[in-house]
Amino acid sequence: MRGYSEIKWSEFVRKVIKDRLEELEKIKHKEKDGIISMLVSEEVLKKDWDNKPDERWDKV
């Protein structure tokens, strides 16, 4: 009986570790997407807001 419970326990531990690793991978992927979209947004804003017509308003 002891061998059976040890097998079940090791299967449980493997499953928990596998699930946790999958969760961590999802978090990493979301962070990468977030950083990329943030950088893209920054470039778009820089292009749209830092231009010559806007600088004319500084002199008014």
- Beta-carbon contacts of 50 under 8 Å, excluding residues fewer than 6 positions away, are none
Predicted pLDDT at 54: 63
Question: Does residue 16 carry a pLDDT above 70?
Answer: yes
Average pLDDT estimate for 10-17: 89
Measured distance CA(42)–CA(54) in Å, rounded: 17
Range of the domain at 51: 2-59
Q: How many domains does the chain have?
A: 1
Q: What is the pLDDT of residue 51?
A: 63
